[in-house]
């Protein structure tokens, strides 16, 4: 469908948690399962979302909120599918907050939707601090970023319910140690689910979407 662009002029930090609680109640009432997807720039958020749409769009009605500092590059990619998408431009702010989602959810419409995917601003730091009323926080770490990232950006790894390890097609060309990564992350966050995938080749996507579909149906 057509892409809408929403501009948020100010990064309103105060009372984020209260707004997030209200959002969560509204999402629960509408029975929409909400995933807040976070990662560094270029880790593959949009590519993973496109794979999820490809896999689940015939089973559940999906909506996407795209968060970017500027541009609508990602929303245009999502807009090529049949899925409803709203673009938020944060105009400099390095993360989404509950107030932005409140406005975007109105614009998107929740009626009949079973899954709402929020693509946060590409940043491994600040987005982890701002609840958006989501059911699950999911993060992506891509192979070229290196397996030492949990030690350096701990909050993102401890806050997330699932970790998507993307670009595993690049494993042969890097020094990334998947076992070491698993050990570190599970030591920090024993309940986290880890999904090694390649959004490029499709490897591992089935496990990820099966888990997500289960969570959506459980709501």
**Contacting its own copies (CB under 8 A), which of 125, 136, 178, 186?**
125
The CB-of-200 to its own copies minimum distance in angstroms stands at 9
- 70 forms part of the interface with its own copies (CB under 8 A): yes
Minimum gap (Å) between residue 152 Cβ and its own copies: 5
The 8-class DSSP code of residue 201 comes to T
d(CA 18, CA 21): 5
Nearer to its own copies, 22 or 146 (CB): 146
Which single residue is written with the structure tokens 């089973």?
59
Tokens of 203: 């490897």
Q: Residue holding tokens 């993060």?
A: 139
Tell me if residue 48 falls in helix, strand or coil. Answer: helix
C-beta separation of 130 from 96 below 8 A: yes
Over the window 105 to 124, marking each residue x when it contacts its own copies by CB under 8 A and - when it does not, the resulting string is ----------------xxxx
Nearest to 141 by CA among 171, 102, 117, 98: 171
Is 158 an interacting residue with respect to its own copies (CB under 8 A)? no
Identity of the residue, 68 or 135, whose beta carbon is nearer to its own copies in the bound complex: 68
User: What binding mask, one character per residue, do residues 128-147 give for its own copies by CB under 8 A, x or -?
Assistant: -x------------xxxxx-
Q: Which is nearer to its own copies, 188 or 194 (CB)?
A: 188
Phi, psi of 32, deg, nearest 5: -100, 130
Q: From the CB of 145, what's the least distance to its own copies, in Å?
A: 3
Q: Which residue from 3, 12, 60, 69 is in contact with its own copies, where contact means CB under 8 A?
A: 69
Q: Which residue's entry shows tokens 């920090």?
A: 188
**C-alpha atoms less than 13 angstroms from C-alpha of 189 in its C-beta half-sphere:** 21
Contacting positions for its own copies (CB under 8 A):
40-43, 68-71, 73-74, 92, 94, 121-126, 129, 142-146, 148-149, 151-155, 167, 169-170, 173-174
């Amino acid at each position: 469908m057509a892409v809408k662009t929403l501009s948020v002029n100010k990064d309103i930090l105060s009372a984020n948690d209260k707004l997030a609680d209200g959002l969560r109640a509204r999402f629960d009432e509408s029975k929409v399962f909400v995933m807040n997807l976070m990662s560094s720039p270029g880790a593959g958020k949009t590519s993973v979302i496109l794979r999820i749409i490809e896999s689940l769009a015939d089973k559940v009605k999906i909506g996407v909120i795209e968060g970017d500092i500027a541009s609508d590059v990602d929303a245009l990619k999502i807009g090529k599918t049949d899925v409803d998408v709203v673009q938020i431009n944060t105009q400099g702010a390095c993360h989404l907050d509950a107030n932005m989602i409140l406005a975007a959810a109105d614009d998107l419409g929740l009626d009949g939707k079973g899954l709402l995917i929020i693509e946060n601003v590409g940043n491994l730091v600040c987005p982890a601090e701002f609840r958006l009323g989501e059911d699950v926080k999911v993060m992506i770490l891509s192979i070229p970023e290196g397996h030492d990232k949990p030690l350096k950006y701990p909050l993102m790894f401890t806050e997330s319910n699932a970790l998507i390890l993307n670009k595993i097609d690049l494993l042969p060309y890097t020094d990334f140690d998947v076992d070491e990564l698993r050990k570190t992350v599970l030591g920090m966050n024993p309940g986290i689910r880890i999904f090694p995938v390649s959004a490029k080749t499709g490897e591992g996507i089935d496990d990820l979407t099966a888990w997500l579909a289960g969570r959506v149906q459980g709501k």
